[in-house]
A and B are shown apart, each in its own frame.
Chain A
Amino acid sequence: GDSVTQMEGPVTLSEEAFLTINCTYTATGYPSLFWYVQYPGEGLQLLLKATKADDKGSNKGFEATYRKETTSFHLEKGSVQVSDSAVYFCALSEEGKLIFGQGTELSVKP
């Protein structure tokens, strides 16, 4: 079946550092791809999404490009802030159901 694999955390960065969280997927069809973020004590929130190959999703300085040739959807941000500390989940949509990666914890130090 379809699946999502994320790089393991935790990832610890200094403020203003560059962030990359890798995400690859396997799917039989052409799924939509998502990044969700979970801040401490809160529910998951949609961060960005892309619905077809070569689409770039972006929000709050984060970006991810749907790469069909490498089956990847890596999350990037040029300059992280302490407030970006959270758990990030990559996911794909299969017939309306979301399949998640295991999550990557990001900790940004001042």
Chain B
Amino acid sequence: GAVVSQHPSWVICKSGTSVKIECRSLDFQATTMFWYRQFPKQSLMLMATSNEGSKATYEQGVEKDKFLINHASLTLSTLTVTSAHPEDSSFYICSARGGRGVDTEAFFGQGTRLTVV
């Protein structure tokens, strides 16, 4: 399958700082990227959907000013956690889809473990 690379795989930051997570599609053009958050022993919760060149669509309850998503190119999307707090500590996962059909397969990055201290 296609490769999606997420970086960094883990990060520790201090409260009040911002952290940027990158998601790259290495061998295909990602027209749509998804960002998920996963709490321990819980399912992946969709945070937002971004289409290249347009603003991200956030799920209900997700603060768009706190979780900034940029999808400026067909191979890169970034998630920036602004003014991070310990409750933002979580596992963040991106996925990317190349086609526009709703059933086109999405490929997943390996995830980023964020710890805010």
A binds B: yes
Question: Footprint of B on A, CB under 8 Å?
Answer: 4, 32, 36, 41-46, 51, 89, 93, 95-103
Say whether, besides A97-B34, A100-B43, A46 and B1 are in contact (CB < 8 Å): yes
Nearest A residue (CB) for B60? A1
* Complexed CA–CA distance, A81 and B32 (Å): 35
Contact flags B36-52 to A (C-beta < 8 A → 1, else 0)? 10000111101001000
Q: Are B44 and A43 in contact (CB under 8 A)?
A: no
Provide a sorted-by-A list of 29 A–B residue pairs whose CB atoms are within 8 angstroms.
A4-B43, A36-B108, A41-B110, A42-B110, A43-B4, A43-B6, A43-B93, A43-B107, A44-B108, A45-B1, A45-B108, A51-B103, A89-B43, A93-B102, A93-B103, A96-B32, A96-B97, A96-B101, A96-B102, A96-B103, A96-B104, A97-B46, A98-B34, A98-B44, A98-B95, A98-B106, A100-B36, A100-B44, A102-B42
Which chain A residues lie closer than 8 Å to B49 at the CB level? Answer: 97
| Contact-size category for B | 20 to 34
Query: Which residues on the B side are within 8 Å of A97 (C-beta)?
Result: 34, 46, 49
Known A-B contacts A51-B103, A95-B102, A98-B34; the reply to A43 vs B43 at CB < 8 A is no
Interface code B47-77, partner A: CB below 8 Å = 1, 0 otherwise? 0010000000000000000000000000000
The distance from the CB of B51 to the nearest CB of chain A, in whole angstroms, is 11
